[in-house]
Amino acid sequence: MASVDDQLFGQTYQQILSSVLGGEKENFQLIYPYLDWWWPTAPSGQIAAPALSLLNSVPQWSAVGQFDPSGATLLNCYQQTLQHVNPTIPPDQQQAVTNAHNLLVAAQNQYQNDLTARNQAWAQAKSSNPPDAPALVFADWALQSGWTGTLAEDTKATAVAQRNYAQAFGQQSPELTQALAAATQPANVTPITAGWTAVNQGDGTLVPAPAFSMSTSSGQDWVNLLSQGGGNQVTIKVGQGQGSYDFSKSWAGGNASYDAFFWGVDADGSWEKWDLDESDASVSATISLTATKVLTAPGAWYNGGYLKTLAGGGSFYSPWTSTGGSSPIFGEGGLLPLQVVGLVAGYQPSYEITMSANTYTQHYQKYEASAGIRIGPFRFGGSGGHESNTIERADSTTSFKGKSTATYPFLMGIITAQPGIS
C-alpha cells in the first residue's frame, strides 16, 4: 500500500502532467528537489556550463528522480554507442580496423576509469564536508581538485583515437564514418565546428563542448517573457484522500525513486522531515505558479535517425546488443537509455497549507522559526537555493501561507526521450 508521501508525490506528478503538459503521454520526470534555473545567457558561440551539465545529462530511469551533475553524459554515451557498432570490413582491412578499435577502447576505458575515480572522490568530499560549511558546488570542486583537467586530457586522447578508428575503415561504412566524425570533439574551439560550441570550464579557459538548442536560452530570458504574458497559470492541490497517480502506468514502469519526505522544514540550516499531516488527515496544500515547457535538442553532432537504424537492426561488437541481453545499447538498463528533450519550468510559486486549529497550534512555532519549507518538489526559502528565494508569509489560525520571492525561475522536471526508440 502506498504511503501518504507516495500519494502526495503522485498527485503532484499527475497534476503537472495534466495542467502543464496537457495530458499523460509525455515522458515526464519530476525533479526532487527542483533545480534553480539561474544560469546566465552565455556569450555568442558559447554554452553556459550549468546548461551544458543538465542538457548533456542522461536522466535516471524514473518518473521522479534527482539530477546528478556527476552522472553519465549524452555525448559520451552516444560516442560509446558508435564505437560499439561493428562495421562490415573487407578481410584485408580487418586487422588495421581491429588495432584502431582496440586503441579506441583503451582510450575510452581510461576515461571511464578516471570518471569513476572522480565520482568516488566527489562522494568522499561531500561526506567529509562539515555540516556547518557551505555546500560544495560540483563544478567548482572538480576544477579545483584537478579532475576537470584530467578528464579533459582523456577526452582529447579519445577524440584522436576515435578519429583514427573512423579513418581505418573509411568509406566501407559511410554512415558510421560520418556519425563518428560529427561526434568527435574538435581539437580547438576555433574555428567553430558544426554541432559544437565552447564552454568556460570555470577558470576562464574555453574548451570545445557539444551544442544544444533551447527555445528559451536562459532563466532570465524566460522571466522577461513573463512580463509579456508568457507562461501558464497553474494550480496544484494535494492532500490525503484525494487519490494518487499509479506510477506503474508511467513511461518508467513504476520506477519513482524520490525516497524522501513530502513535507520538509529547514531547521538550523538543514532540511528535515516535517510531520505536519501525521495525525491530521485534513492537511492539504495548494500551490499556484506560472509554468511552461521549454524544448531542447542536441546539435548536429547527434544523429537520432542513425540511432533508430541501429536500434532496428544494427550489428555491435560482442557483448553489446541493440536491446535485451546483459549489455543492451537502447532502452531501460541500456548504455544510451534516455536523453533530455524538454525542461518544465516554474516561477514564483505561492502556497497555502490548511489544517485543523490544533495542528496549526502544534506546528506554528516551528514553522515561524524555520528558514524555509518544502512541499514535495517545491522549495520556499531555506538553504541550498538562490539567495533571493525567501518567503513572504501571511498566515491565519488554520493555515500557513506564503510566496517565493525568487527572481529566477526553477526547473521542476524534464521531458525525456529514448534514443533509437522514441
- Categorize the per-residue pLDDT at 38 as very low, low, confident or very high, splitting at 50, 70 and 90: confident
Residue ranges per structural domain of the chain: 4-87+173-417
Report the pLDDT value the prediction gives residue 263, as an integer from 0 to 100: 94
What Cα–Cα distance (Å) separates residue 421 from each residue in 55, 87, 301?
A: 19, 21, 19
Q: Which of 213, 181, 179 is nearest to 197 (CA)?
A: 213
Residue 88 has pLDDT above 90, yes or no: no
- pTM equals 0.88
pLDDT in tens, 261-319: 899 998 877 788 999 998 899 999 999 998 888 899 999 999 999 999 999 988 999 99
- Categorize the per-residue pLDDT at 386 as very low, low, confident or very high, splitting at 50, 70 and 90: very low
Residue 389 has pLDDT above 60, yes or no: no
pLDDT in tens, 349-372: 999 999 999 999 999 888 888 888
Cell of 337: 537509455
Report the pLDDT value the prediction gives residue 184, as an integer from 0 to 100: 95
Instruction: Tell me the average pLDDT across 80-90.
Output: 91
385 or 301: which leads in pLDDT: 301
DSSP-derived letter for residue 398 is S
Residue 52 has pLDDT above 90, yes or no: yes
Q: What mean pLDDT value characterizes the chain?
A: 88
Q: Are 380 and 269 in contact (CB under 8 A)?
A: no
pLDDT in tens, 208-259: 999 999 877 666 777 777 656 677 889 999 998 787 788 888 888 876 656 6
In the chain, the amino acid numbered 330 is: F
Q: Which of 405, 409, 402, 412 is nearest to 388 (CA)?
A: 405
Report the pLDDT value the prediction gives residue 101, as an integer from 0 to 100: 93
Instruction: Tell me the average pLDDT across 333-352.
Output: 93
CA 3/CA 244 separation, integer angstroms? 10
CA 323/CA 329 separation, integer angstroms? 6
Report the pLDDT value the prediction gives residue 395, as an integer from 0 to 100: 63
Report the pLDDT value the prediction gives residue 393, as an integer from 0 to 100: 63
97 or 22: which leads in pLDDT: 97
CB environment 378-411: b (16+ within 10 A), e (fewer): bbbbbeebbeebbbeeeeeeebbbbbbebebbbb
> What single string gives the DSSP state of each residue in 208-220?
EEE-EEESS-SHH
Cell of 250: 508511467
Place of cell 510531520: 275
CA 53/CA 68 separation, integer angstroms? 9
CA 74/CA 420 separation, integer angstroms? 13
- Categorize the per-residue pLDDT at 387 as very low, low, confident or very high, splitting at 50, 70 and 90: very low
Contacts of 131 (CB under 8 A, 6+ apart): 269, 270
- Categorize the per-residue pLDDT at 148 as very low, low, confident or very high, splitting at 50, 70 and 90: very high
